[in-house]
């Protein structure tokens, strides 16, 4: 399985989790998911983790 397929699979699972509210399960709101992503991005920008290649790529990709 390629990384692109794995990402698309996870996206489908996330969509299903969000859309299946009628089953009475807890789901995350879009706002909370965006907050978590922004928090992760900020943490990666300001920490020593940025020295790692994958984290540097993650941080620099939206900036370019």
Average pLDDT value for residue range 41-64: 81
* Percentage of the chain modeled with pLDDT above 70: 70
pLDDT of residue 63: 64
Q: 44, 50 in Cβ contact below 8 A?
A: yes
Of how many residues is the chain composed? 64
Task: Average the pLDDT over each of 11-15, 39-43, 50-54 and give the range with the smallest value.
Answer: 11-15
Q: How far apart are the first and last CA of the chain?
A: 28
pLDDT of residue 52: 87
pTM of the model: 0.50
Q: What is the DSSP secondary structure assignment for residue 27, as one 8-state letter?
A: -
Q: In the chain, where are the structural domains located?
A: 3-60
The residues near 43 (Cβ < 8 Å, ≥ 6 apart) are 49
Query: What is the rounded distance in angstroms from the CA atom of residue 15 to the CA atom of residue 8?
Result: 10
């Amino acid at each position: 399985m390629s990384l692109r397929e794995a990402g698309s699979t996870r996206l489908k699972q996330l969509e299903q989790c969000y859309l299946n509210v009628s089953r009475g399960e807890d789901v995350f709101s879009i706002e909370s998911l965006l907050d978590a992503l922004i928090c992760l991005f900020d943490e990666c920008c300001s920490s020593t983790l940025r020295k790692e290649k994958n984290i540097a790529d993650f941080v620099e990709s939206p900036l370019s």
